[in-house]
Amino acid sequence: MNRINILNSPKSPIPVLLTCLLLFFFSTAVAQPHHTQGAEKTTAGKAISPDLFGVFFEDLSYAADGGLYAELIQNRSFEYNPGDHKGWDALTSWDYTTEGYGYGSISVETRFPLSAQNPHYVVLNVDEAGSGVGLTNSGFDGIAVKAGEQYKFSVFLKQFSNSGIPIEVRLQSKGGVVYGRLDLKTESREWKQYGAAITSDATDDNAVLVIVVKKKGILGLDMVSLFPQKTFHNRKNGLRADLGQVIAGLKPKFMRFPGGCLTHGDGLNNIYRWKNTIGPVERRVEQRNIWNYHQSMGLGYFEYFQFCEDIGAKPVPVVAAGVSCQNSGGSWRIGSTGQRALSLEAMKGYVQDILDLVEYANGSAATKWGAKRAAAGHLKPFNLEYLGIGNEDKITPEFRERFRLIYDAIKKKYPAITLIGTVGPDPSGAEYERGWAFAGQMAIPVVDEHYYQKPDWFLNNNLRYDAYARSGSKVYIGEYASWGNELANALAEASYMTSLERNGDVVRMASYAPLLARQGNTSWNPNLIYFTNTKVCPTVNYYVQQLFSCNQGDRYFDHIVSFIGGNVLKDSSLAASCVRDSKTGDIILKIVNCRPSSAKAEASLTRFGMINSKAKLLVLRGKPGDQNTMDDPGNCQPSTADFTAQEQVSYEAPPYSLSIIRIKTSASGIRINDKQDPRDAKKEVEKNVPVLNTL
C-alpha cells in the first residue's frame, strides 16, 4: 500500500473505461508477456496453486506492539522519542509515582546501559521512601487483567547503592485498588533480571502496573515487562492468544511479513533489518515505525517464523530491495524526498544479510546462523520456500541494479527458494508496466501485485487473470481489498476470489490487507480484524476469507456451475467456482450472489462419479450494509447446515450471499480426467482419508 498520513483516504478509482483501454493496450504490448493468452478451458480440470489463500501481517495500526505481541507494558525500555511520534519521549506511558510523603527524583540516562542496542534506562534517586517512590505504567490504553489469571513480571535492575533495595510491584486499578503484588530485593550492582508471576484477583480492562522503591537509595531500571501467562501456544515472549487464534482460524496457507511499507522504511536508516530483531529482547535494536510510532522488535523474525509454524502457514518474509520507500519523508499525496538507494559498497553487506536470513531459516544447527536459530529454541529448520524482494517500489535504474544483486546472489546459493518481485502499488500504470517488463527480463518466478479499489472494480475485473499468459512469472496478490467492511464489500471480494481460483494456475498466492488494526489507533482502513485490549472483531471480509481459505482445493473444474438467467463470468454479480481437494477427495462449490434477489444455480457433478448425498452448506448472507462491530462482532457471520447433494445439484442462492457446498465423493468414483484409469483414481483417494473441513 502507498503510505498515507490521512486516515480513510482511498486512492482515486480508475474509471472502468480507462481500465478497459489500459488492459487492451497491455494485452498487445510486447513488454507485457503476461497478457498474451486466455485462461485454460478444460472439461477435465486443471491443477491450481496449493498455496492460494494466506495472510499478510504488517506492523501498522499497532498490529504488533499493543496488538499481536502479548507484551502489556508500553515503552518498556524507555526508548520512545519524538522521532517516533510527535510529543513522545523516553517516559511516554510512564508516570512518576510517590506515596506516603515519599520524594526523590527521576532521570533517563545512557551512561551505564543494559546493552549498546538498548541505551536508555531510568534512574530513581529516592531521598525519602515514605510508602514508596517509583513509576506507574498505563500500558496500551490500559492493562487488561482477568481474575484468577497469572501475569509474568520481569525487570532489569541495577543497584547504585551499597546495600540491597526492596521493591514492591503491584497490579492495581487506576484508583489504587490492588489486584496482585509481589516483593523483590536487589542483589547486585550490575544489571540483573528479576521477576515472578503475579495473580490478579479481579478483572479490569484498565489496570496499571506500579513499581515503587521502599527504601532510600539509587536504582536503575530497564526492560520492564508484563506478559499474560497464557500466550498463543504458551510460547515464551509470545503472542496474544485470542488474536493468534483468530488468525489461525483462517487456516492460511502462508503468511507474508513484516511488511509492506515497513520493510523498505522511511529512508535508508529506517530499512527493516532482520538481524536486529533476533536474540534476547534486551539486545534487539528498536526503531521508529514508518507508520508514526515505535517498534520494540519483541515480535521479531524468530517469533514470525515460529507463529507461521504454529498456524501451519508457509513463511513469506519480505526484504527491502536495497532502496527506501519512494514516499520517504511524506506520502504519495503530499510529496516526499523520494526513493534512496544503498551504495553499491553497502550492498555487499546487505546482500550477505539476506543470504544469512536463508541460512537462519533453513540451515542446520551446525551453521553460523542456523546455530542462532537453534539457540533460540528451534533446532530444526523452518523450511523457508518463498522470499519477497521489495515492496511497491518505483522501478528505477537504482532499484533494478540492487534487485539484481540480491536476486542473483540468492539464486546462485539457494536455487530452491522461490523469489517474489514487485510491480508497484496499483493494478495498472507506469510502475506496473515497468515492473512486469523487468520481471520478464529477469525471469522472476513470482511478482507481487497490489490494489485497493471500490467494490465495483472487483466486480468489473473478474476476467483480469483469464488474459494472463500461463507461462512466465506467476502472480502473488500481496495486498488487496475493497474500500469498506460492509457485506457488499466482502461479497465483491468473494466474487473476485472465484476468479483467483479459476486462474489458480497463474495466481500463486493472494492475501487481503491489512490484517490487524487496533481500534482507536488505525493507520489505514479498512482492515480484516479489529481489536481492543479485550475484544476481537472479525469483519465480514474476514469470514469471506475464512470460507475460501478453509475450503481451498488444488484442482479447478470449469463449466460446473451455471446460473439460470445469468452468466458466471460476464456478469460477476453472480459468480461461482468448483475445486477439488485431493487430500480429502471433496468437491467444493462456491456460489456468490451480489444481487438483491435470489439466484438459481445448477451444478453438474456427473464427472466426479459417485456422490455422497450428505454434504455441508455454509452460507454468509445479510443486507449490503451489514457489518460487524465491537458491540456486535457476530452480527454477520456464516451459518452451517446439512445439504443433500446429488449428481445434478440445484441451489437457490439467497440475495447478497456467499454459499459454500462441500461434497464428499466415493473413492471408487473420483476421476481427475477422462483418460485416467479409475483404479488410479481410487488409489489416489485412499491415500487421504476424506475428512470434512468445517470452520
Q: Which residues are catalytic?
A: 392
Using alpha carbons, select from 233, 262, 236 the residue that is nearest to residue 248. 233
Using alpha carbons, select from 135, 118, 120, 139 the residue that is nearest to residue 73. 139
Task: Look up residue 189 and give its DSSP letter.
Answer: S
Angle between helices 344-362 and 368-375 (to 10 degrees): 50
Say how many Å lie between the first and final Cα of the chain, rounded.
Answer: 30
Q: Which residues pair with 154 in a beta bridge?
A: 195, 225
Tally of residues, the chain: 695
Integer Cα distance of 305 and 387 in angstroms: 13
Distances from the Cα of 247 to the Cα of 302, 508, 546, angstroms: 18, 21, 9
Integer Cα distance of 72 and 225 in angstroms: 7
Q: Which residues pair with 208 in a beta bridge?
A: 172
Answer for the pair 693, 551: CB distance below 8 angstroms, yes or no.
yes
Integer Cα distance of 489 and 427 in angstroms: 18
Integer Cα distance of 604 and 166 in angstroms: 77
Integer Cα distance of 574 and 571 in angstroms: 6
Determine phi and psi for 636, rounding to 5 degrees. -135, 105
Which residues have a Cβ under 8 Å from the Cβ of 677 and sit 6 or more positions away? none
Question: Hey, is 482 helix, strand or coil?
Answer: strand
Answer for the pair 219, 126: CB distance below 8 angstroms, yes or no.
yes
Answer for the pair 448, 423: CB distance below 8 angstroms, yes or no.
yes
Which residues have a Cβ under 8 Å from the Cβ of 51 and sit 6 or more positions away? 253, 254, 314, 508, 509
Answer for the pair 588, 662: CB distance below 8 angstroms, yes or no.
yes
Which residues have a Cβ under 8 Å from the Cβ of 144 and sit 6 or more positions away? 72, 204, 205, 206, 207, 533, 534
Integer Cα distance of 494 and 543 in angstroms: 10
How many Cβ atoms from other residues are within 10 Å of residue 83's Cβ? 12
Using alpha carbons, select from 687, 11, 678, 664 the residue that is nearest to residue 327. 11
Question: Hey, is 347 helix, strand or coil?
Answer: helix
Pair type for strands 204-213 and 143-145: antiparallel
Integer Cα distance of 272 and 142 in angstroms: 29
The cell for 528 is 480484516
> Over the Cα atoms of the chain, what is R_g?
27
Using alpha carbons, select from 431, 410, 428, 423 the residue that is nearest to residue 473. 423
Q: Which residues pair with 620 in a beta bridge?
A: 658
Cα 258 off chain centre by: 8
Cα 37 off chain centre by: 33
DSSP string computed for 557-580: -SS-EEETTB-TTT-TTEEEEEEE
The cell for 398 is 537504482
Helix (H) or strand (E) holding 59: none
